[in-house]
Structures are given as structure tokens and as C-alpha cells.
Amino acid sequence: MADADDVRQAALALPDVTQIESDGFDFRVANKGFVWSYPERRPGKARLIRTDIAVLFVGDEAEKQALLLGEPEVFFTTPAYDGWPLVMLRLTQVDVERLGELVTDAWRMRAPDAPVRSRSTRAGRLPPPEWRDRRR
């Protein structure tokens, strides 16, 4: 079972990541968000920042639908995210290894160029330990 600290660890292990000040967590590469806390909308109330749910960039609608249909207990969306290549991830439904794969995939899709992307290892793997200490 993963949690917000595991999201932070996975995101900060990746090259060129910036953490944005937030009530939860919010990570970007080249000023593009790739994983952040879910801002739950509540009618008539302020948004509630949910650190038990991560919003992940998934690249396109096909990938979004594949995740939503393939693992509805893990991924979900809301009408506010219709048309956006984003899914919500229930952190309690994944282990730390799977979370690392998902965060790395989201980062890879948002990284600005091939040299940055090539610094990650094979699809779904975190960078080697020597890169994990390169935090901004």
C-alpha cells in the first residue's frame, strides 16, 4: 500500500523534478505537472486536498480509458477531468513498486526532450540510485 510519502520519494528520485508548494504534493518537470494531490470538489465548500489520491498524467485518452476500464478499483476520473489525459489513482490500491512505475511513466511523458527521457531506465523503472539523489 502506497502513500503520499511514497509519491514524494518516487517523484523526487527523477531528474529535473520541481516540487511545488502545496497542501498536498505537486510535482513538475519543465513546468509541466505529472503527479499531484487530488483536489476533491465538494458542492458549496472549498476543495479538499486528498493526499490519499494522486492525479497522474497519462498522455492520451486511449491510455486513460485503458486504465479506467482495466482497473476500476485503482483508477477513476470525474466529470471535471473529461477531455484531459489525467486519471486519479487510489494510493491504497497500489504497492510502492507499481506507484514508482506509474510516476516514472507520467514523468517520462512530460519530460521536455529525448536526453532527459533517456536518463530513465526501461519503461516503468526508476532511475538508478545515483540519480535518485539529484533533487531540486
d(CA 87, CA 68): 8
Nearest CA to 66 out of 55, 51, 77 is that of 77
pLDDT for 18: 97
Tell me what pLDDT residue 128 has: 45
Band the pLDDT of 114: cuts 50, 70, 90.
very low
Alpha-carbon span 105 to 135, nearest angstrom: 18
For the chain, percent of residues with pLDDT exceeding 90: 81
| Sequence ranges of the domains in the chain | 4-128
**CATH number of the domain at 4-128, please?**
3.90.1150.30
pLDDT value for 124: 46
Average pLDDT in the chain:
88
Does pLDDT of 64 surpass 60? Answer: yes
Give the confidence band of 118 by pLDDT, cuts at 50, 70, 90.
Answer: low
What does the alpha-carbon distance between residue 22 and residue 43 come to, in Å, rounded to a whole number? 22
Q: What is residue 112's predicted lDDT score, i.e. its pLDDT?
A: 85
pLDDT at 127 over 70: no
Convert the pLDDT of each residue in 2-19 to its tens digit: 999 999 999 999 999 999
Helix (H, G, I), strand (E, B) or coil at 60: coil
